[in-house]
A and B are shown apart, each in its own frame.
Chain A
Amino acid sequence: MNHTADVKNVIKKNIEKNKNKKREKIIPNLFLLAASISILTTVGIVLTLAFDAYKFFAKVPLKEIFSTELAPLAVNPSFGILPLISGTIITSIIAMCVAIPIGLTAAIYLSEYAKESHRKILKPIMELLAGIPTIVYGFFAYSFVTPLLMNLIPSLGAKNALSPGIVMGIMIIPMVTSLSEDAMNSVPNAMREGALALGSTKLEVAIKVVLPAATSGIISSFVLAISRAIGETMIVTIASGSSKNFTLDITQSMQTMTAYIVEFTSGDAGSGTVGYYSLYAVGLILFIFTLLMNLLAQYISRRYREEY
């Protein structure tokens, strides 16, 4: 009797062991499945964009695509992409003119000059600024910054490229600051102390020692910031409007690639029209633009990083 109970126990234990073995084999595969979702997302993005963009490129002649004439809802629709590209580049340049000087100098202040107590106050404020939703910035640009700028530039349109450009720059400042500051913080103190011991001022240490040593991180933060500006949607949609003019006049309304996508999806473009496919073509170009920027940023920070 006792003996059979022992055998039963052994069998039970063995079954359990096998179960555990099976479990140990299955579980990693489940996790791999979850991890593959991220790859599937990328594949999904590329496929959806490429599939419908292909239909667009098949229907619209290249000459038309590279024209400055964009009128998707006209009787004779025309799909020139240059107005969108110029709108995107111009608003991004304005944003960079705000974000780079202010973001970089703020980073120098935080990493080279600020006392620990000041850093502890300023860093969370930067994080708060970074956490404000872009739609709020958009509303702010349209209802506050544009009227403010109108006092300075009377010819400014109610929708224009200047105001969203500036506000987009403000939105990006925290990103430039925190990435550049990280880069500067990784410069070893021995280098600063060496320069200070030779009689340099803090400014000279910052400009002649720290900045050169942190160049790769700083440049890659700029590139990431540009990519962020190119992909930013709501600020430009609200404050820059939807004029599809090919113009360099920043006091007038212009449309970015992102704003075009938003305008068209919330509009009446039915599925299957050329206008609908143009959405995906613009999306594909936008995706390639930002992907290249991100890869470039990664490349710069890896290739030119100085190891200490």
Chain B
Amino acid sequence: MNNRTKTRLLLDKLAHKAFLLSALFALLILGILIYRMGTQSIGWLNFEFLKNNLSIFPEKSGIYGAIIGSLRLMAVIAPVTIILGVSTAIYLEEYAHKGKLQSFINMNISNLSGVPSVIFGLLGLTVFGRMLNLGSSILAGGLTMSLLVLPIVVVSSQEAIRAVPNYLRDASYAMGASNWTVIRTVVLPSAVPGILTGTILSLSRAIGETAPLVVLGIPTLILKVPTSVMDDFTTLPIQIYYWTLDTVLTPEYANLAAATSIVLIIMLFLMNSFAIYIRNKFQKRY
């Protein structure tokens, strides 16, 4: 082998190693992050912590209210996004004529998904908070979040509907079924796994979001567990935010924030695994 070839081969080897390191970097960071949060929350993350309400004493503080708040928020977001998202996807895929209106709505949705979440916060503050007078209730937060994650549900539902092969539709039409009957009895049942996966992913995005809720003006300290959709509430990310802000005065808050982060990450991990499970288990291949 001449020298030039040797250098080229060496370079290739080095590049291989370097690129591998880049790819492993993600793994490294994930490891550090989990390890760091884990060690910080040792002694803090226990059953009491999950069961207790907020308190001014860090040792007695818990995130029960925040967990309930996050769950109730999801209970608002899920129906709103499913109804709006799936309907939009059905319109775009099954009814809209290929043309200007369809591509306009599609472009609009892809642009919406790029709008920073904090802007949705401003929209929610103005429209839901002030104009509709919902304040910083669960309903206001849920509707704001629904608009934020709507593009995710629309796009994944569109993909799920598009994946239903045309011969299934044609067969039903040939038997005399109407447009709506075909959608209701043939298209939607086959698209359900894809739609569910998208919905769960959008929910996991929503309960990890902080900025829109902060902009809506979620109060700092809520000792009451929310009971209705009109109540003020707090969520896990909001709790992490306020505890992080106050770590300078009360160092223990860092432990609480870390413990809450672990709970949030576990919740998201479970939701995402469930979504992937549904996708793999129920998705039919045609």
Contacts and interface: CB of A to CB of B under 8 A. Distances in A.
A202 B25 CA distance: 22
A133 B22 contact: no
Interface string A253-265: 0000010011001
B3 interface: no
A37 interface: yes
Nearest to A108: B19
User: Which of the listed residues B107, B110, B116 has the most CB atoms from chain A within 10 Å of its own CB?
Assistant: B116
B27 A122 contact: yes
B27 to A, nearest CB: 5
Given A140-B36, A224-B114, A233-B118, 8 more contacts: A30-B87, A31-B90, A132-B208, A173-B26, A203-B11, A262-B215, A291-B115, A293-B114
B180 A23 contact: yes
30 contacts: A24-B179, A27-B179, A34-B84, A34-B88, A35-B96, A37-B84, A38-B150, A41-B123, A106-B26, A132-B208, A134-B208, A134-B211, A135-B241, A136-B265, A138-B241, A138-B244, A173-B25, A203-B12, A203-B15, A231-B114, A231-B117, A231-B118, A233-B117, A238-B244, A258-B118, A261-B121, A262-B211, A283-B118, A290-B115, A294-B114
Given A34-B84, A38-B109, A136-B240, A143 B130 contact: no
B111 A143 contact: no
A15 B88 CA distance: 30
Interface residues of B, number: 85
B71 interface: no
Interface string A16-44: 00001001100110111111011101101
Contacts of B134: none
Contact of A287 (B36, B119, B127, B237): B119
B231 interface: no
A54 to B, nearest CB: 14
A259 B210 CA distance: 12
A295 interface: yes
User: Which of the listed residues A139, A140, A230 has the most CB atoms from chain B within 10 Å of its own CB?
Assistant: A139
Interface in B227-265: 237, 240-241, 244-245, 247-248, 254, 257-258, 261, 264-265
A75 interface: no
A48 interface: yes
Contacts of B15: 202-203, 206
Interface in A126-149: 126-129, 131-136, 138-140, 142-144
B25 A42 contact: no
A122 B122 contact: no
Given A106-B25, A136-B265, A233-B116, A261 B122 contact: yes
